[in-house]
Amino acid sequence: MKLSVFGATGDLGSECLKQALDAGHDVTLLVRSPDKLDSTLREQCNIHQGDGLNATDVDSAIDADCDAILFAIGVDKQSPEHLCATVTENILTAMRSKEIRRFVWCGGGATLLEGDQLSFGARFVEFFSRVFMALRHRDKLKQLEVLSSADDIDWVGIRPLQMLHGPRTESYRLGYHSFSGLSKISFADCAHAMLEMTKDDTWIRKAPIIQY
């Protein structure tokens, strides 16, 4: 399978990259700083240096015969407003021009969706994110808005709560189960779920919570 990965130098993206390469996939990356990648990984993938906010850079990193896009870009305090949403718009434009349909992304549990069990824990997660992580919260809401209007794209995603370093167990829950700020998942298992979604239609146009 041919994959394009965005956000490959981050904790989640690097796991997506490692697992994709281990599975024998042909991987293309768009990164601003290729030197942040392990030299062994650099030798195994096709690297385009550029910025996801630049539509031309994004287009160059998506081959016409690409099977799926993996979106693992994170947001920090220095990120521009609507980083993920803008990069997603650029990716969708390139996908449409090349007739690529599968887009797999990582959102966040603070973005509440229809079907979620709105327990006290879930409402607290949303409140905390909206107040104390406002930039990220707004961006993920905007990104979901962009995707929700993309009826021509087979998008699918996961919404983790606390993402931690840890082993890939391949034993986790995907769905609209009850959750809270204590719900955890490893970066490795998030990456595993995302790679599975490149070929599984179970959650098309849905974004289930992922947790242990």
From the list 7, 10, 6, 135, the residue with the least C-alpha distance to 78 is: 135
Looking at residue 158, what is its pLDDT?
98
Which of helix, strand or coil describes residue 75? coil
pLDDT digits (tens, 9 = 90+) for 50-91: 999 999 999 999 999 999 999 999 999 899 999 999 999 999
d(CA 52, CA 58) in angstroms, rounded, equals 6
- Of the candidate CATH numbers 3.40.50.720, 3.30.360.10, 3.30.70.20, 3.40.640.10, the domain formed by 2-211 belongs to 3.40.50.720
Cα separation of the two ends of the chain: 28
The percent of residues in the chain predicted with pLDDT above 90, rounded, is 97
Question: Residue 146's pLDDT band (boundaries 50, 70, 90)?
Answer: very high
Query: Could you give the 3-state DSSP secondary structure of residue 190?
Result: helix
Residue 87 phi/psi, 5-degree rounding, is -65, -40
Task: Summarize the confidence of residues 93-122 as an average pLDDT.
Answer: 96
129 close to 179: Cβ distance less than 8 angstroms: no
Chain position carrying tokens 């990164």: 31
pLDDT range class, residue 111, cuts 50, 70, 90 = very high
| Tokens matching residue 125 | 């997660």
User: Got the DSSP string for 4-41?
Assistant: EEESTTSHHHHHHHHHHHHTT-EEEEEES-GGGS-HHH
The one-letter amino acid code at 201 reads D
SS3 content of the chain, % helix, strand, coil (to 5): 40, 20, 40
Residue extents of the structural domains in the chain: 2-211
What pTM, to 2 d.p., does this model score? 0.96
- Structure confidence at residue 97 (pLDDT): 97
